[in-house]
Structure 1
């Protein structure tokens, strides 16, 4: 399946057009005068970029504070954030819905086991189901990886995390980030999103969180959800429709939850 790409840079493109998020408009086939908008992450205007403190690149300072190693790691994160300004040396694009995100193969490969094997054509190294829906194509020497079943905003945060080890996480997007961490096998994002979620488990999300933790082997979230279930089993099972649907779809998880609910002392004795 061929893709029409919006002004992808080629190997001779030396431009450094820091013009904010670049907007590409194309006329739709139906309806004169209407246009669909696509955006490319990259070449971000310095002032716009610094409007977001988590992406900002502060001035270098001497690493002579109480934690010089942490200071150096912070500078490293900021330097990698600067790469998101550089479409001129980007060699890969992620296509998410109508959005193209300029990235770098080496960063994807270093941070994600799934992207590493997709880029190197080592699909046999992936677990069953991993990377199956990712599609590859090439345009002007740029590798294009189409990422389905992921919304644009979630993928932007995933990309930012792969480059900088930080992103915007909140109760609205935490589960999506947890799922993305599992789908793309980004181990540090599993820990980051899992740690956040572990502090925000409720009666209404615990079963969905348990499903994600089970499917993507997130041991921290799985442990925390199990502990929450043990403490609130009666209330959770009282939500009869939700409990019934979940029991039909995921009897494996239900069996584990009920086992630990009966064997509470054994659960609390285990060291995770």
Structure 2
């Protein structure tokens, strides 16, 4: 006849006591209008369905936190644009597809075009990222020139700066 381990019986009793007294519960489950205070860890350990639900919530929480962090970083980069870093920020914006940083960088570059063009970054960027330089100066040309002069300005940029 198999013997029953007293320790196993105690574990079941202890877990039952936690549930019956609602001790240290961390979740509520509603079934047919009735509320049950439960323990996520126990549900996850005993049910693949609950494990999937709780795991998905954690992944969503982490994703949301990372989205918030990305937004905060993007805002900080936009707030700290300078003549020296605007082109680098435009490259980052292009690489990571961050629209706010891209638009802010292009607007900053357009507003400070003369100073930006004097930087080493500008000379390097015209060689390695000509399409981004063209985007920035297209914005500048569009903002500052009447429509009929825009094409001449773009042609001038292409001829003199290899953009």
Bigger share in helix: 2
TM-score between both structures, scaled by the size of structure 1:
0.30
Bigger share in strand: 1
TM-score between both structures, scaled by the size of structure 2:
0.49
